Structure 1
Amino acid sequence: MKKIVIALIALIAFSACEKTNYVDSPPQLQFTVLDENGVLVEDASVTLFTTYDAWYNIEDSEENMIATTDSTGTCLFTDLQEVYYFFNVEKGEELTNSTSNSSMEKPLQKGVITNISVILKYD
């Protein structure tokens, strides 16, 4: 009887184990956009540039990625590369992030969602 109970306990213990595989997902970048009063900004346009020159010259390129913030003032870019990105955020002509510091501090990393908060100022 003891052998049956031990076998039953072992069977239950092993059937409860779950194998988890780690998957290297591409980097992601999430923006939260606020105005200078701390209010979340919906429908702001966020553009990612892959090079400094493209950002500096505000070049329109097929390589640039554009997203629009939702009602929570956020947007998410997925399937990115492990590189530095430059960005521009604006809502119409009245709100912009007119700053010389529109880049990331370090390159994106696999499996990590990097969060950037941007405060737009009224022109």
Structure 2
Amino acid sequence: MSFVIEESVLRRRIGGKTVQRGQLEQLLLVGQQRNVEIQVMPLDREDHAGLSGPFTLMETSDNRRVGYVEVQNVSRLHTERKLVRELEAQYGIIRAQALTPRESLAFVEKLLGEL
């Protein structure tokens, strides 16, 4: 599994400091698993391929790939191969623009130290 998370989401203290600390600690635990890659998109990126909003890419047990987009109470499941490939290409660019998984875990540890 692979995730790219905006730095602003990690810094937002919804629920207070204690909740934020628990969330960051959980990210570190999950991010150290061999089948998980967590990347952080830093705030100092002036522009990146994910600015149009979040999306999820999934592969079903029968190897079909789908994309899911949800914005402002509107959700859509994309199954058309062309649209899914476009989302996959966009995700590849997002990953290239974000911190590496190792840099991202170090960044989360740094945020924990600031609490």
Which TM class, normalised by the smaller chain length?
under 0.3
TM-score (norm 1): 0.22
More helix as a share of residues: 2
More strand as a share of residues: 1
TM-score (norm 2): 0.22
